[in-house]
């Protein structure tokens, strides 16, 4: 609806609410965004540029206007019933907020603030709502809140189901090996016990790592990741990770190395969490590096922050997906095994330390890097980046 159409619709609408919504439109949006940005219950709003923040609010205003416009003898309830695609605005808005990592209380609070904004502007301009106007106004906002809530809930449930399916799938592979090795033992079909023991240990360890990742993902999802900081010489982390992956990489002829400075590199951090983060990045590098390639871990202590780098000789990442790689469930090759959570978890852990993570070089031959401030200040509730869009099916 263009500005002229809005004005003429409002002029023909009984009561003063419609007129106010059209003539004070910009003022309403401005006041609302100010309230939202100032509200401590909506912290995620401060990350957004103005257009993203406003999102579907202008459409909500249009809907209100259309509903208010009626013949004097037509009850508004019937007109609302005639509306086609009524809940579209609520669903689209909810999906946008979810993609921006909003929580349900935040999304609802924004809409509640919208209600308050309109009512306070009405009061300032001595506009008293008729009973019909009030019913219609509140019902429309309530409807949008309900739709948003349902959509957020639906997507949450889907994410949970997908996570469970992925976990089951990925744990079943190493479990399968363990089951079959047990069968071999039972049947006396084992001529190299040491090799079998090594295989069992490796697959059990893989299951342990997957379960650890699952628990971390769940904690990050809830915004509860706690960082237990201590003074750590992080060179040990680089070396440990190298040792951890060497046996796995060697089976495919991949060389894993670690380059660390000669002197101590003391960083205040949660050692086990950084090990987890670095391990996930290296696991990813090994997975995507062809047989006979190289994966190098580097620790750089020259700058104002401590920097970890992982370089591989794999095919690299398509430039359009550089941001996607850190999203939960995103996978470069859909048929490759793996939960698609490793890098998302790494990001959550790094950011909880106040650091940054990214793709320094997209490839061919990718380089992943992350920084940790020396006197890292852990953030109280680190959370995950939003899941990849294909998730919202």
Partner 1 sequence: MAHLLLVDDDGDIVEALAELLRVEGHEVRTACNGEQGLQALHAAPLPDVVVLDVDMPVMSGPGMAHQMLLHDAGEEKIPVMLVSGRADLPQIAARMGTPYFVAKGSTFEKFLYMLDRALRERLAPSSA
Q: Which range touches partner 1 (CB under 8 A), out of 39-47, 175-183, 262-270, 360-368?
A: 175-183
Q: Is 187 in the site for partner 1 (CB under 8 A)?
A: yes
CB contact at 8 A, 265 and 331? no
Q: Which range touches partner 1 (CB under 8 A), out of 9-17, 39-47, 85-93, 198-206?
A: 198-206
Contact positions with partner 1 (CB under 8 A) in 251-280: 251
Q: Is 246 in the site for partner 1 (CB under 8 A)?
A: no
CB contact at 8 A, 125 and 20? yes
**Min separation Cβ 380 and partner 1, Å:** 36
> Pairing mode, if any, of strands 230-233 and 367-373?
unpaired
Q: Is 390 in the site for partner 1 (CB under 8 A)?
A: no
List 180, 243, 264, 377, residue binding partner 1 (CB under 8 A): 180
27 vs 180, beta carbon nearer partner 1: 180
74 vs 208, beta carbon nearer partner 1: 208
Mapped onto helix, strand or coil, the DSSP state of residue 191 is coil
- Using omega within 30 degrees of 0 as the cis cutoff, is the peptide bond preceding 152 cis? no
Q: Which range touches partner 1 (CB under 8 A), out of 15-23, 178-186, 213-221, 321-329?
A: 178-186
Q: Which residues contact 49 (CB under 8 A, 6 or more apart)?
A: none
CB contact at 8 A, 71 and 16? no
Distance CA(160)–CA(147), nearest Å, equals 20
State the angle between helix axes of 104-124 and 25-38 in degrees (0 to 180), rounded to the nearest 10.
Answer: 130
- CA separation, residue 324 to residues 47, 92, 139, 153, 257 (Å): 19, 21, 38, 23, 27
Q: Which range touches partner 1 (CB under 8 A), out of 32-40, 53-61, 167-175, 304-312?
A: 167-175
Distance CA(234)–CA(304), nearest Å, equals 15
Q: Is 337 in the site for partner 1 (CB under 8 A)?
A: yes
Q: Is 185 in the site for partner 1 (CB under 8 A)?
A: no
Contact positions vs partner 1 (CB under 8 A): 164-165, 168-177, 179-181, 183-184, 187, 189, 199, 202-203, 251, 333, 335-337
């Amino acid at each position: 609806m263009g500005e002229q159409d809005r004005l003429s619709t409002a002029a023909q609408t009984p009561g003063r609410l419609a007129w106010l919504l059209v003539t004070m439109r910009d003022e309403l949006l401005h006041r609302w965004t100010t309230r939202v940005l100032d509200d401590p219950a909506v912290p995620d709003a401060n990350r957004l540029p103005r257009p993203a923040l406003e999102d579907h609010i202008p459409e909500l205003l249009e809907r209100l206007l259309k509903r208010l416009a009626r013949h004097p003898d037509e009850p508004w309830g019937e007109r609302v019933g005639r509306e086609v695609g009524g809940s579209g605005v609520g669903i689209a808005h909810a999906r946008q907020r979810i993609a921006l990592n909003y929580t349900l209380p935040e999304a609802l609070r924004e809409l509640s603030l919208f209600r308050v904004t309109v009512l306070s502007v009405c009061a300032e301009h001595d506009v008293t709502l008729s009973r019909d106007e009030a019913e219609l106004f509140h019902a429309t906002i309530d409807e949008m809140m309900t739709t948003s809530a349902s959509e957020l809930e639906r997507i949450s449930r889907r994410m949970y189901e997908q996570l469970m399916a992925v976990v089951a799938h990925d744990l079943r592979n190493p479990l399968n090996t363990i089951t079959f090795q047990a069968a071999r033992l039972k049947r006396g079909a084992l001529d190299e016990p040491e090799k079998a023991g090594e295989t069992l240990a490796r697959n059990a360890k893989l299951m342990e790592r997957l379960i650890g990742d699952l628990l971390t993902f769940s904690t990050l999802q809830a915004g509860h990741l706690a960082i237990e900081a201590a003074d750590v010489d992080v060179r040990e982390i680089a070396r440990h990770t190298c040792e951890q992956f060497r046996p796995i990489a060697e089976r495919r002829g991949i060389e894993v190395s670690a380059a660390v400075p000669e002197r101590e590199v003391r960083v205040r951090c949660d050692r086990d969490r950084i090990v987890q983060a670095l391990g996930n990045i290296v696991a990813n590098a090994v997975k995507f590096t062809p047989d006979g390639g190289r994966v190098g871990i580097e620790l750089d202590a020259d700058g104002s922050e401590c920097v970890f780098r992982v370089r591989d000789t794999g095919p690299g990442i398509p430039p359009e997906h550089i941001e996607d790689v850190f999203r939960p469930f995103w996978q470069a090759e859909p048929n490759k095994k793996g939960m698609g959570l490793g890098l998302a978890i790494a990001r959550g852990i790094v950011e909880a330390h106040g650091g940054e993570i990214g793709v320094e070089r997209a490839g061919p031959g990718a380089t992943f890097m992350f920084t940790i401030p020396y006197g890292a200040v852990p953030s109280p509730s680190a959370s995950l980046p939003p899941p990849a869009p294909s998730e919202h099916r």
